[in-house]
Structure 1
């Protein structure tokens, strides 16, 4: 990583062809720590993402340099900027040094080359590729990943609870708390004591927390807290780490995770610690949503000793000023799992 610091955020012009028959197209080539991003110079929209460890040079020693993202790819990229060429050749040199020596059996060569690429990929992956991928995914893709995560969680928690009146209550609560932000609230029967967030503005609420609550301020408080947590740490990141390097590269280049990439994520997700959130900005969220924070504080700690700030600094100590759910909708929400 130290040897590549001088190339961080390097950009240059290039000529990109997505198929052999297509005309060359001017692009901006952006060198990142784990990917090569090709963007339209006018709109700045990404046109293609290449995994740096897999980039191949098709015309060694000739200029302009001609690259491909993989041996079987139709895409090509012409580059004549010396700094960009040096950066790409550095990556290729890292891969080459980890490749097997000549004279081995064909199977050993192929297997060793694959391991070398994966080793370099693992070297660059630590959060750089994961965070970049998360930052460029559209909301529709995030929603699809959330669906896949819920499907795996359902092995352990059962399918999200659903009744017509209960779903109506969840919709009313989401609209009351978040307006038109499109936050989806789901209730899980087992395995989730309190709440958690998924990408795509999905908040999971645990049935044990709802059943123990005396008022809707409690699930409302957990929903507020989890949306705040998700804004500080993207809930997509642990899912991509679970999916791994190959699946993340596939997602970055094709827009879809391989089938089964999130298989088995449920155990780690449910067991993951959810540290306490900073109280002052969290209280600001309660104030903005017009929700009393004290019920949430007592739900976290019945004694109130560890959540004293949420209780004593409650922005609405006289109670939530605007109704969250009426009695009928609150009863429907508590009964959503039957």
Structure 2
């Protein structure tokens, strides 16, 4: 949802102009959660600009010209007055939110400084424990967004076809409950479901497009959530970081781009262990899911674990509670289409 829900579905035509190209391009602009999305005529994403960073190059003149930063080599030209006003209003709202976050961060920095001084008297492991317990939600959210962007650069763009948004939200509620976490689909292929700080669960479009049953997708998401149930996702990032990176995170709430890229490489190359069998079976039962569809898809990767799941006689799914209707499943399978 955007900061101002009244603009959640606002779209407007625009002209996209890049310094590297001599041709202007007709596009459509719309809002993401804190981004300005640039789409082609088939609703395929071409770019996402961070709204707090967007600047207006010709204040007071029309058509309005916006850019994603002071030194940006691209811009969009918008003549739609409601969209121009919406961008301005949302930026003001984000600015107020960022000021509030800055005040909270100031208090956090004071406490983190004290924690850092005390932790420095102990050992690097103590600093890491202090970081893991001291990171505020706003910083965790920012780290999740940064990691998602780098993953998208490596794998493929975020898929968010309008017809798939509702089914994706319903899938999230079925697999994750009402926790408020969200699922991000990337248009590419990778092996694992990935959980990031800020409650972001990243899945591959292949997991949706190549399966015949939404219960398989829900099972993978649920299994991943159970796997990390005892560990905050930010702990894994802290474990990956050097002591100096952890110290910087404690002192400023920021991480280096090099650390983010290195951690993404680790996420894509590692094969995390599965969670315990019994809690997983209990979670499947609570969600009204059968474990067998999930188990069959991991049989080639971990035969022992999958066989144990199957032999444990997991409950079958409840036919009265389908994961998604046939219509929703078809719509979700076109999540990466315009």
> TM-score per shorter chain, which class?
0.5 to 0.7
Correspondence for 2:113: 50
- Give the superposition deviation at 1:181: 0.4
> With structure 2 as the length reference, what TM-score do the two structures score?
0.60
CA shift, 1:265, in A, is 2.7
**Match among 222, 225, 228 for residue 223 of structure 2:** 225
Cα deviation per residue 1:121-169 (whole Å; 9 max; x = unaligned)?
xx9324x322331222222221111111111112211222111122221
Q: After superposition, where does 1:68-147 map in structure 2 within 5 Å?
A: 91=121, 124-126=123-125, 128-147=126-145
Which has the larger Rg? 1
Structure 2 CA distance for aligned equivalents of residues 226 and 314 of structure 1? 21
Mapped partners of 1:315, 1:266: distance in 2:
34
| Equivalent in the alignment of 2:34 | none
Of 310-319 and 324-333, the range deviating more from structure 2:
310-319
The DSSP-based 3-state class of the residue aligned with 2:111 is strand
Task: Provide the residue aligned with 2:290 in structure 1.
Answer: 292
d(CA) in 2 for partners of 1:259, 1:271: 18
Query: In 2 relative to 1, CA 310–224 (structure 1 residues): closer, same or farther, beyond 3 Å?
Result: same
Q: Distance in 2 between matches of 1:200 and 1:208?
A: 24
- Work out the CA distance in 1 between the residues paired with 2:313 and 2:134: 37
The aligned residue for residue 329 of structure 1 is 328
C-alpha distance in structure 1 between counterparts of 2:157 and 2:114, whole Å: 36
**Counterpart residue number, 2:54:** none
Asked if the contact 1:217–1:295 (Cα under 8 Å) also holds between the matched residues in 2, the reply is yes
> How far is the alpha carbon of 1:211 from its aligned partner?
2.4
Contact 1:196-1:226 within 8 A present in 2 as well: yes
- The size of the alignment, in residue pairs, is 229
Structure 1 unaligned spans of 5+: 1-44, 56-68, 70-86, 92-122
Quick check: 268-277 or 301-310, which moved more?
301-310
How far is the alpha carbon of 1:320 from its aligned partner? 5.1
8 A contact 1:148–1:262 mirrored in 2? yes
Residues 252 and 301 of structure 1, relative CA distance in 2, 3 Å threshold: same
Residue of structure 1 in register with 2:190 after alignment? 192
Query: How far, CA to CA, are the matches of 2:318 and 2:287 in structure 1?
Result: 13
User: Separation in 1 of the partners of 2:163 and 2:191?
Assistant: 23
Structure 1 distance, partners of 2:292, 2:217, is: 12
Give the drift of 1:254: 3.0
* Greater RCO, 1 or 2 (C-alpha within 8 Å, sep 6+): 2
Corresponding residue of 1:204: 202
2:164 aligned with 1:166? yes
The alignment yields a C-alpha RMSD, in angstroms, of 2.9
Aligned to 2:150: 152
Distance 1:155 1:303 in 2: 26
* Counterpart residue number, 2:213: 215
Offset, 1:308: 2.5
SS of the equivalent of 1:169 reads helix
